[in-house]
Copies of this chain bind each other. A is one copy, B any other.
Amino acid sequence: MTVSSFAAIAQFAPVRFESPLLHASGDDAEGSLFITDADRIRFDISLNEAGPQPASFEPAGARRLLFYDPPQTRAAIVTCGGLCPGLNDVIRALVMELHHWYGVREVLGIQYGYAGLVPDTDCPPRPLTVADVDDIHTHGGTILGSSRGKQGVGRMVDMLVERRIDMLFCIGGDGTLRGAHELAREIRRRGLPIAIVGIPKTIDNDIDLIYRSFGFQTAVEEADKVLDCAHMEANGARNGIGLVKLMGRESGFIAAHATLASGDVNYCLVPEVPFDLGGDNGLLAHLRRRLATRRHAVIVVAEGAGANLIGDTGRRDASGNVIVNDIGLYLKEAITSAFAEWNEPVSIKYFDPSYLIRSVRANSSDSIFCGDLGRHAVHAAMAGKTDLLIGLWHGVFTHVPLEAIVGRRKKINPNGNLWHSVLASTGQPSSMSNIDAATTPTQD
């Protein structure tokens, strides 16, 4: 399909102006930001052609032939790691699809994460019926409980064998999926027909090769409400500063999207874009200039931002994630000190809403998405697929081998459209580093 363009009409031809965005984006960003006339987007993204194949995914969905005989099948479900909106929706969808459409009679809920998947747990699996899950999607959390941390792979496979479990659905993040992959490898080593299917859970939406993860949209919705509160607090005091720490250890997707949804954020700080505090182009100097004229500011900081400033603690949590120092509290104190030194009073209100966001019920969009994930996971397992997770690529549900995603993160491209939109919304300088951006225009 060809689009009309005055620029292509001889009558209007000679005049062409260079885009002001070239300057605004501050550097050689045009490689990724600007579209050229040769760029096109495929109408059809499915493939079933002969000959050499481009990179592709296996699509998820129901298969006509099954590997397991449904009435003889015993399935199990486990939820791991921190809460995320939609956990109960996924559990519900798994149970409903297994029972109603495939006729699987036994579904077990493993309690408190992998800690409940060992033979000697004192919280044994509980049977899950349709009645048990009927209205669990109206509440946040997970009815199965969760935990962080690993268990011995061998002991977990022992448990699966002992309980005669044919398929295990693992709902969790990077560490959980790594564990699931190890389970699948051990199962393969023993030559057992037990399927391991992952449903990726990352509220940060930063698992590689996956366009969207469940709970993310709900998290942005809740974060947006917090930003509104921060805006009110900032506006309500002279030199008021609303400082909000949001989730995002290695990527700033929640911070960026919540910033766009809100429209009231003045500085959005993410792990992908390092910044300085001091110096003429540092955050503090920009903040000072803004307060002098506008008297208030809203700052959003992803928990993994500013790693160059604070370093990590050298420790890891039970899931193996690096524990960083708290950038939110660090910023709060740095700002307080700086303005005290300048003898300019500020009123900082600090918000750390993480648990308030993780524990809410999924919104409608995430709830529907969780239903799709659950159903596709059942289709995959029943067909005998294993060692994979259910992904989404260009709007299509896919099968992704677990080893393809373990340890790989999606990140914001600082030269791409998302970050450009954030800069447009906040008016913050494209760089607050004193080294690489000495001449950056700003909109303080």
Contact = CB atoms under 8 A, between A and B. Distances in A.
Given A34-B61, A371-B425, A425-B371, A68 B232 contact: no
A3 interface: yes
B232 A6 contact: no
Interface centre among A18, A134, A258, A261, by most chain B C-beta atoms within 10 angstroms, is: A261
B6 A67 contact: yes
Contact of A17 (B4, B68, B138, B258): B68
B232 A7 contact: no
Name A's interface SS: mixed
Interface in A391-406: 393-396, 398-401, 404
A156 interface: no
Interface residues of A, number: 144
A5 B368 contact: no
Contacts of A20: 70, 101-103
Interface stretch (A49-57, A273-281, A320-328): A49-57
A67 B384 contact: no
Contact of A263 (B15, B137, B231): B137
A355 interface: yes
A407 interface: no
A367 interface: yes
A372 B53 contact: no
Given A261-B364, A400-B1, A42 B45 contact: yes
A279 to B, nearest CB: 25
Contacts of A6: 67, 193, 195, 384-386
Interface string A73-115: 0000000000100000000100011001111000000011001
A129 interface: no
Interface stretch (A169-177, A216-224, A334-342, A432-440): A216-224
A44 B394 CA distance: 9
A21 B62 contact: yes
Contacts of A365: 217, 220-221, 261, 365
B229 A140 contact: yes
A300 interface: no
B59 A41 contact: yes
A17 B68 CA distance: 7
Nearest to A240: B145
Contacts of A395: 211, 394-395
A284 interface: no
A150 B165 CA distance: 55
